[in-house]
Protein backbone atom coordinates (compact mmCIF):
# COMPACT_ATOMS: atom_id res chain seq x y z
CA UNK A 1 0.00 0.00 0.00
CA UNK A 2 2.85 2.41 0.76
CA UNK A 3 4.44 1.86 -2.63
CA UNK A 4 1.14 2.59 -4.39
CA UNK A 5 0.50 5.77 -2.39
CA UNK A 6 4.04 7.06 -3.12
CA UNK A 7 3.54 6.32 -6.82
CA UNK A 8 0.19 8.15 -6.86
CA UNK A 9 1.64 11.09 -4.97
CA UNK A 10 4.51 11.33 -7.48
CA UNK A 11 2.06 11.26 -10.40
CA UNK A 12 -0.10 13.99 -8.87
CA UNK A 13 2.97 16.13 -8.21
CA UNK A 14 4.20 15.72 -11.81
CA UNK A 15 0.81 16.60 -13.25
CA UNK A 16 0.45 19.63 -10.98
CA UNK A 17 3.88 21.07 -11.75
CA UNK A 18 3.85 20.37 -15.48
CA UNK A 19 0.46 22.09 -15.90
CA UNK A 20 1.84 25.35 -14.52
CA UNK A 21 4.64 25.45 -17.10
CA UNK A 22 2.27 24.75 -19.97
CA UNK A 23 -0.14 27.49 -18.91
CA UNK A 24 2.46 30.27 -19.27
CA UNK A 25 2.34 32.37 -22.41
CA UNK A 26 4.09 35.43 -23.76
CA UNK A 27 2.47 38.86 -23.44
CA UNK A 28 -0.49 39.79 -21.30
CA UNK A 29 -0.71 41.84 -18.14
CA UNK A 30 1.54 41.37 -15.12
CA UNK A 31 -0.47 41.92 -11.97
CA UNK A 32 1.45 42.54 -8.77
CA UNK A 33 -0.44 42.09 -5.54
CA UNK A 34 0.85 43.76 -2.40
CA UNK A 35 -0.29 42.90 1.12
CA UNK A 36 -0.45 46.59 2.10
CA UNK A 37 -1.69 49.86 0.59
CA UNK A 38 0.71 52.77 0.04
CA UNK A 39 0.55 55.33 2.84
CA UNK A 40 0.90 58.19 0.35
CA UNK A 41 1.94 58.87 -3.24
CA UNK A 42 5.08 60.76 -2.19
CA UNK A 43 8.10 58.60 -3.01
CA UNK A 44 10.30 61.17 -1.24
CA UNK A 45 8.53 60.75 2.09
CA UNK A 46 7.92 57.01 2.03
CA UNK A 47 10.72 54.46 2.11
CA UNK A 48 8.97 51.11 1.89
CA UNK A 49 8.55 48.79 -1.07
CA UNK A 50 4.79 49.07 -0.63
CA UNK A 51 4.88 52.75 -1.62
CA UNK A 52 7.87 52.81 -3.98
CA UNK A 53 6.84 49.89 -6.20
CA UNK A 54 3.38 51.05 -7.28
CA UNK A 55 4.42 54.71 -7.64
CA UNK A 56 7.40 54.10 -9.94
CA UNK A 57 5.00 53.75 -12.85
CA UNK A 58 3.45 57.14 -12.02
CA UNK A 59 6.63 59.21 -11.76
CA UNK A 60 9.20 59.61 -14.54
CA UNK A 61 12.94 60.17 -14.07
CA UNK A 62 13.14 62.12 -17.39
CA UNK A 63 16.28 60.19 -18.37
CA UNK A 64 17.12 56.54 -18.87
CA UNK A 65 19.96 54.35 -20.13
CA UNK A 66 20.01 53.38 -23.79
CA UNK A 67 18.49 49.89 -23.96
CA UNK A 68 20.54 48.95 -27.04
CA UNK A 69 23.98 49.23 -25.38
CA UNK A 70 25.51 46.25 -23.60
CA UNK A 71 26.81 48.17 -20.56
CA UNK A 72 25.44 51.31 -18.91
CA UNK A 73 27.74 54.33 -18.78
CA UNK A 74 27.44 58.12 -18.67
CA UNK A 75 27.59 58.15 -22.47
CA UNK A 76 24.56 55.87 -22.76
CA UNK A 77 22.15 58.21 -20.91
CA UNK A 78 19.32 59.29 -23.21
CA UNK A 79 16.26 61.49 -22.64
CA UNK A 80 13.05 59.63 -21.88
CA UNK A 81 10.49 62.29 -22.78
CA UNK A 82 12.40 64.82 -24.91
CA UNK A 83 13.24 63.83 -28.50
CA UNK A 84 16.88 64.97 -28.07
CA UNK A 85 19.21 67.32 -26.20
CA UNK A 86 22.37 69.28 -26.87
CA UNK A 87 25.28 70.29 -24.65
CA UNK A 88 27.08 73.62 -24.90
CA UNK A 89 30.75 73.68 -25.91
CA UNK A 90 31.92 74.18 -22.31
CA UNK A 91 29.65 71.36 -21.07
CA UNK A 92 27.86 73.52 -18.49
CA UNK A 93 24.44 73.80 -20.08
Query: What are the residue ranges spanned by the domains of the chain?
Result: 57-93
Evaluate whether 53 touches 32 at the Cβ level (below 8 Å).
Answer: yes
State how far the Cα of 75 lies from the Cα of 69, in Å rounded to an integer: 10
Provide the mean pLDDT of the chain.
77
Using left for φ > 0, alpha for ψ between -120 and 50, and beta otherwise, residue 69 falls in beta
pLDDT at 19 over 60: no
Query: What pLDDT score does 1 carry?
Result: 60
In terms of pLDDT, which residue wins out, 32 or 92?
A: 92
pLDDT at 45 over 60: yes
Query: What pLDDT score does 24 carry?
Result: 65
Amino acid sequence: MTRLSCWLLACVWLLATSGVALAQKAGGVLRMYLPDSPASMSIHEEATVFSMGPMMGVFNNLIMFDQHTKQNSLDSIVPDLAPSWLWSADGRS
